[in-house]
Chains A and B, each alone.
Chain A
Amino acid sequence: SYVLTQPPSLSVAPGQTARITCGGDKIGRKSVNWYQQKPGQAPVLVVYDDTDRPSGIPERFSGSNSVTTATLTISRVEAGDEADYHCQVWDDSGDPVVFGGGTKLTVL
């Protein structure tokens, strides 16, 4: 089955840029979605199909995807961005839906 690998944690200072990675075999060929999950809440879609943002998501959130790594970039990080971030792909072998292990973003 397909595996997505995320760093367990990342810490950034307010105003800096956070880059959260999601690694997978030939992930560049897949469509990657990213979800933000704050404590005690449901996940919220922040980026879909690698780079697109749903309405209402700030432009500070952007995505990219290349070869073996997809990246969620959060510019000008704010305290309110502190959350777990999960990447997800659709796979055509094994389970059709795969999530990464999640990255806990801490704003210092």
Chain B
Amino acid sequence: QVTLKESGPVLVKPTETLTLTCSVSGFSLSSGEMGVSWIRQPPGKALEWLAHIFSNDAKSYTTSLKSRLTISKDTSQRQVVLTVTNMDPVDTATYFCARILAADTTIYYMDVWGKGTTVTVSS
């Protein structure tokens, strides 16, 4: 059974760095056409993709936050880590990680999601 679970602080202060961990089970971070995405959702708002990393270590970031994001993976620990620097109250959101599957070289989808972790940015 494939599962993903997000963990991290519930509350961070403005200007601090947020570090989120996605712990996965049921699949490998080092094989196959798979990856892990981070997506966030501010209260009452739409989903916003942040970053992803594939089994071959290829990474992508959303243009709007690229300078503040870093994604990495630890295959042996089965974890994907996202850091977000210089946090601001507008970054208050639920943060999800999700597995990416490839049905083809150009067809990808996020088939299993974690339950999400809610992060509030406040002094």
Contact = CB atoms under 8 A, between A and B. Distances in A.
B and A form one assembly: yes
Contacts of B106: 31, 90
A49 to B, nearest CB: 5
B47 A43 contact: yes
In terms of DSSP, what is the predominant structure of the interface of chain B? strand
Contacts, number: 65
Q: How large is the interface on A (under 10, 10 to 19, 20 to 34, 35 or more residues)?
A: 20 to 34
Interface in A53-100: 54, 86, 88, 90, 94-100
A99 to B, nearest CB: 4
Interface in B59-84: 60, 62-63
Contacts of B46: 86, 99-102
Given A43-B47, A43-B113, A49-B103, A95 B108 contact: no
A97 B37 contact: yes
A41 B113 CA distance: 10
Contacts of A43: 47, 96, 98, 110, 113
A86 B63 contact: no
Given A48-B111, A99-B47, 10 more contacts: A31-B106, A33-B109, A43-B113, A45-B109, A49-B103, A49-B107, A95-B60, A97-B37, A99-B39, A102-B47
Interface of B: 37, 39, 46-49, 52, 60, 62-63, 96, 98, 103-104, 106-116
23 contacts: A31-B107, A31-B108, A31-B109, A35-B110, A37-B47, A42-B115, A43-B96, A44-B113, A45-B112, A48-B103, A49-B104, A49-B109, A88-B109, A88-B110, A90-B106, A90-B108, A95-B49, A97-B49, A98-B49, A99-B46, A99-B48, A100-B46, A102-B47
